[in-house]
Amino acid sequence: MVAWHMNSLPIDGPKGLDHLLQGRRWYTHKIFRTCVALAVLLTIPCWLNHRTNIQVDTETAAFGQFTGNWPEVGKISWKSCHPHPPLNNVDCGDIVVPKDYFNPRAGTATIAFARLKSKASLSKGTVFFNPGGPGGSGKSWIAEINPYYIRNMVGEEYDIIGFDPRGVGETVPQTRCFNDGNTGSYANFIRNTVLERGYDVASNMSTAELRSMLLVKTAEADALLRTQFEICRQNMGEELRYMGTSTVVRDLDFMSKIFDGTDAPINLYGLSYGSVLGQYLANMLPDRVGRVVIDGVVDAESWANQPAYLWHRQWIVNSEATYDIFFKTCSEAGPSICSIATVEQEAPDAIKTRLESFIDGLTYQPLSITNSKHPSILTSGRARKFLIDGIYRPSLWPLVATAFAKAMDGDGSAIMDAIGTAGERDLARAAVSCNDQPHFDAPKIEDIVDEQLYTYQNVSRFIFAVANLENADFGCQHWSITPPERFHGPWSHTLKNPILILSNTADPVTPLASGKKVQEQLGNSSRLLVLDGPGHTSIFLPSSCIKEHMNAYFANGRLPPEGTVCSVDLGPFSSQT
C-alpha cells in the first residue's frame, strides 16, 4: 500500500519509520511526525452475502425514529482530544451509528473522529479523510499528526473530519483479537516468525533452491494465519462482522447527513486504502458523491474479487522503477546526502550492487544487534521490509540510506528501531481485508509459491518484501466470518459529480495502471491527474501543481485538463532541510 507491522502505514502504510521523521521539516506548516498510515498498503478481501443493491434509510436512523437498540444513533459527544495536545481549531468527539444498517437488533457502534474546523465564514461542508491501511487512524491524523497538510490540499472552506473506521483506533467496537489477558499481544504471537521476520531469501539463489525455501516459509505463514484468525474468532465473535469497507461507506453516508444535512453530498479525501473506500463509495452510492479525491489508487475490483496472493503481479509493476530512481537520485546527491554512495557521481548500479550484496549476505549470516530498543538480529527479510517501507516514502530516502550505511558498517540499530514495533496493531487490517474478499477455496501452498516466483521473475523482486508487508491480507481462506454486506461491483456507475484520481508514475505498490483503470471504468465521472515522481501516493514529495489542482477541485469542482501531468517541486534527496 500500509503502525507498525509494516502493514500499517500508508499510507496506513508504516509507522516503523516514524521516529526518523524527527527533526525533518516539510513544505507544509507542521512537522510530519508520523508517516501516514497509508502504506502499504493496500490489500483487502473477503465475503459473501452480496447485497449490492440494498439501500438503508440512514436519514430515518439519523433522526432517531428507530426504537429498540437504535435510540441514540446520531448522538455526538464532544470531548478533549486527549492524549493529544490541543491543536488550533481542532476538536474531537464520538458519533453513535448503527452497528448493522440492516439489523437494528445488532445495537450501535461509536465512531471516533477529530475535526479541523473551516476558517471560512460559511463552511461548504465536511470533507472526510482516510489515511489508508486499512487500519490507519484518521482521527490521529487530524488531532495529532498533520492536519495542516490536509488543510493545505483541501483549502480553507471545509471542515475536515478524520475518523477511525470500524475496528480501528478509538472507534468501538475495536479489533482486539489479542491482548485479552490470555492470548498475549499480537507482537508476541508473531515475534521471530515469518510474519515478523519476512522472507529470508538471496537474489543469487537458484530457482529450485528459492522454491524449496518458499514452500517451507509459506506453509509456516499459512499455519500462523490460520491460527491467528481462529484466535480472533474466539475472542471477537460476531463483532468481526461489522469491520468491512461496505459498512464504512454506510458510516460515511450516515455521518455526512448528521454533520452536513440530509441532502448534502459526501466529500472524501482518501489515500492508498482510502482509494478503495472512495471507489466503494462512488459505486455503492453514486448519487451521493460530492468532491472525492483518491490518491495512490488500489484496484478495488481485484481487491473485492480476487484472493490476495494474486494481487501483486498487477500492483507492484512500478516498484522496480521506483527502486531505480532511489539509486539514480542517490548517485546524483552523492555521499554527503546519500550515505550508501561512496564517491561523487558513483554509478547507480554500483550503489545498488553493494546494497543488495549486503542484504543477500544477511540471508546466510544475520547481523547481531544489541544496542537497539529492540535487540535482535537483522535478517535479509527484515532488511527488505525496511527498504520497501523506505521506497514508499521518498522524503525519507536520505534517512533510509543513512540507516543502511550504518548497518553495512556493523550497526543495524536504526533499522531494528524502525521495524521493532511490528505487530503492535493487532488484526484491524485483516478484519477489513477479509470482510471485503470473497469466500474462496484455500489455494495449495504450491500454487501460492508458483505465483510468487512468477512475480519475482517477471514483475519485481520486491514481491518478497511486499508480500510480507501485506501478510494481513493473505490467509482469508481461514476467515470464518460473514459480514452483513459485501460490495463487489459493478465499478462503472455514472456519478452525481466527477471524482479526481491521483497517481504517481513510479508508485511501488499502487501503479499508474490502477489509476488509469479506475478512470476508464468511471469515464466522464472521473479525471486522472498524474504526478511524475516516485513514492506511494503524492503526499511524500511537494508539488505545487498537485496542490493547485486539488484546491480548485474542492473549491468549485474544476477538474484539471485531460492528460495533465504534474512535477515535484523538490527531489527525494533535496527535500531535507
Q: What pLDDT score was predicted for residue 187?
A: 85
Closest CA to 405 of 319, 337, 332: 337
Q: Is residue 559 part of a domain?
A: yes
Three cell numbers at 4?
A: 507498525
pLDDT in tens, 217-262: 999 999 999 999 999 999 999 999 999 999 999 999 999 999 999 9
Q: What pLDDT score was predicted for residue 31?
A: 29
Q: Residue count of the chain, please give it.
A: 577
Q: Is the pLDDT of residue 570 over 70?
A: yes
Strand ranges, E, within 442-575? 499-506, 526-534, 565-567
In sequence order, what are the beta bridge partners of 431? none
Q: Is the pLDDT of residue 119 over 90?
A: no
Q: What pLDDT score was predicted for residue 424?
A: 55
Number of domains in the chain: 1
Q: What pLDDT score was predicted for residue 470?
A: 65
Q: Is residue 279 part of a domain?
A: yes
Q: Is the pLDDT of residue 276 over 50?
A: yes
Q: What pLDDT score was predicted for residue 70?
A: 66
Q: Print burial letters for 243-278: b (CB count within 10 Å at least 16), e (below 16).
A: bbbbbbbbbbbbbbbbbbeeeebbbbbbbbbbbbbb
Q: Is the pLDDT of residue 294 over 80?
A: yes
Query: Can you give the residue range of the structural domain that contains 132?
Result: 44-174+242-302+499-567
Q: Is residue 493 part of a domain?
A: no
Q: How many CB atoms lie within 10 A of CB 532?
A: 14
Return the CATH number at 117: 3.40.50.1820
pLDDT classification of 88: cutoffs 50, 70, 90? confident
Q: Is residue 310 part of a domain?
A: no
Phi and psi dihedrals of 380, rounded to 5? -65, -35
pLDDT in tens, 339-362: 999 999 999 999 999 999 999 999
Q: Where are the alpha helices (DSSP H) in 17-94?
A: 58-62
Q: Is residue 156 part of a domain?
A: yes
Q: Is the pLDDT of residue 133 over 80?
A: yes
Q: Supply the pTM of this predicted model.
A: 0.88
Residue 200 near residue 381, CB atoms below 8 Å: yes
Q: What mean pLDDT is predicted for residues 406-418? A: 95
Q: Is residue 131 part of a domain?
A: yes
pLDDT classification of 84: cutoffs 50, 70, 90? low
Q: Is residue 92 part of a domain?
A: yes
pLDDT classification of 32: cutoffs 50, 70, 90? very low
Q: Is residue 359 part of a domain?
A: no
Q: What pLDDT score was predicted for residue 63?
A: 35
Q: Is the pLDDT of residue 408 over 80?
A: yes
pLDDT in tens, 417-430: 988 754 457 899 99
Three cell numbers at 284?
A: 455503492
